[in-house]
Amino acid sequence: MAYNHKDIDVNRLNLTDIDIYQCGQEKCKPGHSYGPAVRDHYLIHFIYNGRGIFQVGENTYHLEAGQGFLICPDIVTYYQADRHNPWEYAWIGFHGLKAKDYLNRANLSLANPVFSDTDGSPLRFIFEEMTAARKLKRSREIKLIGLIYVFLSHLIELNVSGSTPDNNSKENYIKKAIEYIEKNYSRHIKVIDIANHVGLDRSYLWSIFNEFLNTSPQQYLINYRINKACELMKNRNLNLSIGDISRSVGYKDPLTFSKTFKKTKGISPLHYQKQS
């Protein structure tokens, strides 16, 4: 029986946040090499033992245990195990909509492809878990996706350069803060919770919000909550009281909500609800 390709729904690569392409471990033979060649995805190697070289462009990196290197898509690279003390490493290949962003947060890029982890045991454990997950029959993909997020999280935590964020980094902090607000506005969160989630000092978060959005994190949170409250008031199917609405947008006290609403919109929530 012939099948029309239109009948098969294929998941397209790079349309999700992260896709795993490959993972594995190898104890290389002396002088074992790969390349020069290109990949169509990101590939990270982490060295358990031994030594070797990694070449990209005009740069040659001499690497050893506790270090790792990033291969970027569509870039010619070459790497070779040392002839006397060949390396043993693990690798993971991945791509996706957020792959580059996560790597940037780990301070890994074509210009800076090497990282070090003096305590490589967490990474080694993650790779061992990936190897075990490959044997799963029903949940293999889900387990591997979870592990790559743990892997990237560890790399991001290793980035302690402490350099002053550039505009792209500042925008990423703002995006992360806004995402946190959108997911948690209904809870009793405060600006300090947002700052802690983003990983910034509260005063610095305030400064970049004013720089890019011309408002403070506090006022952004208030506006977001009040606008959500307005949406609930316009939904006649819900038939919510003012108290119901205030609790739904993160205000425990309806009186505080009413005062904040009137200060923001110029009229009381009850009046607004009647007009909607």
CATH class of 166-276: mainly alpha
Pairing of strands 77-81, 51-56: antiparallel
pLDDT at 170: 83
Three-state DSSP at 131 gives: helix
pLDDT at 212: 92
Ordered per-residue pLDDT tens for the chain, 276 residues = 444 444 444 455 556 888 889 899 999 999 999 989 999 999 999 999 999 999 999 999 999 999 999 999 999 999 999 999 999 999 999 999 889 989 988 889 999 999 998 788 899 999 999 999 988 889 998 999 999 999 999 998 887 654 445 556 788 889 889 999 999 999 999 999 999 888 888 899 999 999 999 999 999 999 999 999 999 999 888 889 999 999 999 999 999 999 999 999 999 999 998 887
φ, ψ at 90 (rounded to 5°)? -120, 155
Same topology between domain 7-158 and domain 166-276: no
pLDDT at 165: 52
One CATH from 1.20.1340.10, 3.40.605.10, 3.30.365.10, 2.60.120.280 for 7-158? 2.60.120.280
Measure CA 234 to chain center. Answer: 35
pLDDT at 3: 44
pLDDT at 54: 96
Q: Which residue has the tokens 């994190």?
A: 217
For 36, half-sphere exposure in the C-beta direction (CA atoms, 13 angstrom radius) is 8
Give the chain's radius of gyration (CA, Å): 25
pLDDT at 10: 47
Residue ranges covered by each domain of the chain: 7-158, 166-276
Q: Is the pTM of this model over 0.85?
A: no
